[in-house]
Structure 1
């Protein structure tokens, strides 16, 4: 009698791109005080269940040096 271990055959559902942070532009569905749409850039990646977001901060070349 052959026993088949199903746990060893379960594929990893997380593909390679889930480990990578992407720079993403978002638009918030509301308007600012002066009537303009609120938008910005964030880092995001998928952990297999949900999207994770991080604040993106731009630096000028003078500040980076």
Structure 2
């Protein structure tokens, strides 16, 4: 019997980590483009590391 090691294990952790979610960073982290980010950021797991993107809030009244 052979085992395919390329298959990803299904589980709640892997599903949640593959989508961007809002996260609060206290210790500054490097973003995708190499800048330091802290506070509210977008975070996603790429299978090996966590990736961070700057979160910018917008005013709903200005967008309308």
Shared fold, TM over 0.5: yes
Structure 1 partner of 2:2: 5
After TM superposition, the score normalised by the length of structure 1 is 0.60
Give the gaps of 5 or more residues in structure 2: 29-37
Structure 2 partner of 1:47: 46
Output aligned runs, 1:1-65, within 5 Å: 4-7=1-4, 11-13=7-9, 15-28=14-27, 39-65=38-64
Which 4+ stretches in 1 moved above 2 angstroms? 4-7
Q: Distance in 1 between matches of 2:17 and 2:58?
A: 26
After TM superposition, the score normalised by the length of structure 2 is 0.60
Q: Which has the larger radius of gyration?
A: 1
Paired residues in the alignment total 52
